[in-house]
Amino acid sequence: MFDAGVNLLDKRFDPFAVIENAIEAGISGLLVISSDLDESQAAQDFCNQYTSKACQLRFTAGVHPHAAKTWDSQSSHQLKLIAADKLCVAIGECGLDFNRNFSSPEEQEYAFTEQLKLAKCLSMGLYLHERDAFKQQLQLLNKYAGDVRFKIAHCFTGNEVQLSAYLAMGCYIGITGWLDDEKRAFDLRSAVKNLPLHRLLLETDAPYLFPKSIRPRAKNNEPKFLGAIASVFAALTNNDIVDVKQASMFNAAKLFLSD
């Protein structure tokens, strides 16, 4: 299996221990996701220094909407340099988050638009974050991201209408442990019944979104718990868990590991 979204350099983690735990659980690859330029640089450094073939690492480079206020005249150039690395597979996390507005909506839309343009220029993928801004995000994607290499709706938590819109745009859909929350994930648990396996990516978003079906609860979520998400998805969609795991691995390999 391949974990399509891990905050591996979070200060709560010993990244080497997390990788070893993942390998023991049968995880053969991790996508290290970034939220600002400093973290993007750190992800690049770490992925290039990690040499074990037991777990393949790839990374994203981008500026999360929370950090959009840090975007300046040099950001696009700096991001372009990092994204040139052969292990960088997508621009992101990028997108819009109007839930808390740690950066203003105007700052978010500007930083997002610049990253959409960069992904198109570099023929790279997009690793998307969205919260309480679906309409605006879709408008910008339709305007600027028609022919990027691929699009991933990271940590999708939306409803059937939103899922249908993303699928119509050709997006892959990242499913996390949020699916395992019967109280908060009602819309998502219904929507995934319409998610075809050829668009599925499984991700933990570790150390966040610990699957509620795992007892006892660990302090942090880790890639080693990815199988629990596969189990919940399989049960909700009446798919064989082997098919779910294989499909997610095939999709990840196609997007992240192919030349």
Nearest to 64 by CA among 73, 49, 75: 75
Cβ atoms within 10 A of the Cβ of 213, count? 16
Q: DSSP letter for 208, please.
A: S
What is the per-residue pLDDT across 41-65, written as a single tens digit (0 to 9) for each?
A: 999 999 999 988 899 999 999 999 9
Cα→Cα distances 156→23, 48, 147, 195, 223, Å: 25, 29, 21, 11, 17
Cβ atoms within 10 A of the Cβ of 190, count? 13
One digit per residue, the tens of pLDDT, for the chain of length 259 reads: 999 999 999 999 999 999 999 999 999 999 999 999 999 999 999 999 998 889 999 999 999 999 999 999 999 999 999 999 999 999 999 999 999 999 999 999 999 999 999 999 999 999 999 999 999 999 999 999 988 999 999 999 999 999 999 999 999 999 999 999 999 999 999 999 999 999 999 999 999 999 999 999 999 999 999 999 999 999 999 999 999 999 999 999 999 998 6
Residue found by looking up tokens 């290290």 in the block? 32
37 in Cβ contact with 6 (< 8 Å): no
151 in Cβ contact with 126 (< 8 Å): yes
Sheet of 200-202, strands arranged across: 2-6, 29-32, 56-61, 88-97, 125-131, 151-153, 172-175, 200-202
- Residue 129 gets the label, from left (phi > 0), alpha (psi -120 to 50) or beta, of beta
**Helices and strands in the chain: count of H runs, count of E runs:** 9, 8
Nearest to 75 by CA among 57, 89, 92, 63: 63
Six token digits for residue 236: 């909700």
Six token digits for residue 107: 């700052």
In sign, the C-alpha dihedral spanning 105, 176, 143, 90 is: positive
Nearest to 159 by CA among 191, 199, 132: 191
